[in-house]
Amino acid sequence: MEILVYQSGINKIIEGLTAADLPELLKDKSNVIWVDMDAPTSEDERVLLDVFHFHPLTVEDCRENRHYPKVEEFHSYIYFIVHGVTANTSPDRFTTIELDGFLGPNYVITYHHEMFRSINNVKQQLRTTPIACQRGPAFLLHQILDQVVDFYSPVLDDFDERIDKLEDDIFTLKRPNNEILSEIMDLKRSVLRLRRISGKQMEILHRMSRGEFALIPEEMRPFYRDVYDHLVRVVDLAENYRDLISGSLEAYLSVVSNRLNEIMKVLTIFSAVMLPLTFIAGVYGMNFDNMPELHSRYGYYAVWIIMAVVAVGMLMFFKRRGWIGRSSEEERPKV
C-alpha cells in the first residue's frame, strides 16, 4: 500500500505515510489522498473495511479479480472496475488486468493484483508536478483512466498491422493453410474480447461523463467525455477489425477454393488430353491378325499425327471455353 497525499496548502505531494495516518488525513477535506494497493495484503484489505468503511461485497469483488468493468455508486463513494491492457498483450492473445478502485470526496483508492503501467505513469507525473491533484480527486481519477485508455492505442495499431499482413498472406497463400486459419481464429477471439471489454468500459465512462455521479462535478465532465470519446473510437475500431477479420475468413476460404479450382483444371486438362492418346496407342497394340494399318509403311507416323491433332484439338477446345490460357496465366503471379 502506497499513500500519496496532496496538500493544497503547501501545493505538494507528501509520500511515505502509513495506514495509521489515514483517519487523520481523511478528516481534512482539502487533502487529495491517493491510496494505491499493488498486490494488497489482507491487512491492506482491512483498511478498506475499517478505515474507509467500504461495503464488504466491493472489497470481495476487488479480491476476486475476474469481474467485468462496472461502476457502482454507494452513499459516499463510487466503486469501479476497469481493465488495462497487459504489457505483453498481442493481437492473437489480447489480455487485460483488472483495476479496482474507489472515488470518495477527498480520496482515490486503486487496487490491482499486478504491476499496472498506467498507475506507475501517473505516480511518476505526480512526483514531478502535482497538477493532476490540484483540481481534486475526480481529476486525479480522470488522469488515471486517461492513462489506462491510452494504452489501448498501440494494441489497436498492432491489430491494424496484423490484419494487413494477414490479408497479404491470404492472397499469396505463402503460409500453410491451417496456420492462417488458426491465426484468423485467434485474432477473432482477441477482437471479440477487446470489443466486449472496451464496450463495457465505454458504458462506464458514459455514465461518469453525463453527470450521474455527484462526486464527479460538472466542470470535470468534459475531461471524462474526452476519455469516453477515446473509448468510442476503440469500440468502433474493434468492430471494424471484427468485420475485417470476418472478411478475411471469407477471403481465405475463397482463395483456398480458387486454388483447388486451378488444380482441378490442370488435372482435367491432363487427363482429358492423355486419355484419348493412350487409347489410340492401346488400339494399335491389339494383336488382331487382320489390322491393315499395322502393315502400312507410314502407319506409325500417321498415328503420331493423329495423336497430335487430337491433343491440339482438345487444347483448343479448352482454350475456347476459357479454361486455360489468359486467365490462368494472369492469375499465376498472384498465386
Question: For cell 497394340, what's the residue?
Answer: 285
Contact between 323 and a copy of itself per CB under 8 A: yes
Per 3-state DSSP, the chain is made up of helix, strand and coil in percentages (nearest 5) of 65, 15, 25
The count of other CB atoms within 10 Å of the CB of residue 257 is 10
Instruction: Name the residue among 32, 64, 69 with its Cα closest to residue 145.
Output: 69
- Interface residue with a copy of itself among 129, 154, 268, 313 (CB under 8 A) is 268
Contact between 205 and a copy of itself per CB under 8 A: no
Contact between 49 and a copy of itself per CB under 8 A: no
- Interface residue with a copy of itself among 14, 192, 215, 315 (CB under 8 A) is 192
Binding-residue pattern over the window 206 to 245 for a copy of itself, x denoting contact by CB under 8 A:
----------------xx-xx--x--xx--x---x--xx-
Q: How far is it, in rounded angstroms, from Cα 333 to Cα 259?
A: 13
Q: Which is nearer to a copy of itself, 19 or 181 (CB)?
A: 181
- Interface residue with a copy of itself among 105, 299, 313, 325 (CB under 8 A) is 299
- Interface residue with a copy of itself among 39, 49, 253, 312 (CB under 8 A) is 253
Contact between 160 and a copy of itself per CB under 8 A: no
CA end-to-end distance (rounded Å), the chain: 59
Q: Which is nearer to a copy of itself, 37 or 237 (CB)?
A: 237
- Interface residue with a copy of itself among 188, 203, 310, 315 (CB under 8 A) is 188
Contact between 271 and a copy of itself per CB under 8 A: yes
Contact between 247 and a copy of itself per CB under 8 A: yes
Q: Which stretch binds a copy of itself (CB under 8 A): 26-34, 87-95, 130-138, 166-174?
A: 166-174
Looking at the DSSP bridge assignments, the partners of residue 143 are: none
Cα–Cα distances in angstroms (integers) from residue 324 to residues 262, 265, 268, 308, in the given order: 10, 8, 11, 18
Contact between 293 and a copy of itself per CB under 8 A: yes
Cα–Cα distances in angstroms (integers) from residue 198 to residues 100, 152, 201, in the given order: 16, 9, 5
Q: How far is the CB of 3 from a copy of itself (least distance, A)?
A: 27
Number of residues that bind a copy of itself (CB under 8 A): 96
Contact between 199 and a copy of itself per CB under 8 A: no
Q: How far is the CB of 50 from a copy of itself (least distance, A)?
A: 18
Q: How far is it, in rounded angstroms, from Cα 281 to Cα 189?
A: 59
Q: How far is it, in rounded angstroms, from Cα 163 to Cα 141?
A: 34
Residue 266, SS3? helix
Contact between 134 and a copy of itself per CB under 8 A: no
Sheet holding 70-73, edge to edge: 12-14, 2-7, 31-38, 107-112, 96-103, 78-85, 70-73
Helix (H) or strand (E) holding 300: helix 299-320
Q: How far is it, in rounded angstroms, from Cα 323 to Cα 335?
A: 17
Residues between 63 and 92 with contacts to a copy of itself, criterion CB under 8 A = 66-68, 70, 72, 74
